[in-house]
């Protein structure tokens, strides 16, 4: 069972959604929507973070400086 796609009015076109997700064009968005291609993990994860469905992971970075 798949969930319906969430509607985000500001990103109601393939072009706007592609820009939001950092994709270069709308062809991949259409392929994802039609089921021709699987959505890569990094794109899906970014979408979940942007829609507040999961928390963004913040990796602690420690550096040694002279």
Interatomic CA distance for residues 16 and 23, integer angstroms: 10
The tens digit of pLDDT for each residue in 24-36 reads 889 999 999 999 9
- For residues 44 and 3, is the Cβ–Cβ distance under 8 A? no
The tens digit of pLDDT for each residue in 49-58 reads 888 888 888 8
Model pTM?
Answer: 0.66
Instruction: Provide the token pair at 17.
Output: 């959604």
Cα distance from N-terminal residue to C-terminal residue, the chain = 56
User: In b/e form, how buried is each residue of 3-37, taking b as 16+ CB within 10 angstroms?
Assistant: eeeeeeeebeebeebbeebebeebebbeebeeeee
């Amino acid at each position: 069972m798949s969930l319906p796609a969430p509607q985000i009015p500001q990103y109601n076109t393939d072009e706007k959604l592609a820009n939001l997700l950092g994709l270069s064009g709308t062809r991949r968005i259409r392929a994802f929507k039609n089921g021709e291609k699987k959505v890569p993990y990094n794109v899906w994860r970014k979408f979940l973070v942007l829609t507040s469905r999961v928390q963004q992971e913040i990796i602690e970075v420690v550096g040694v400086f002279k």
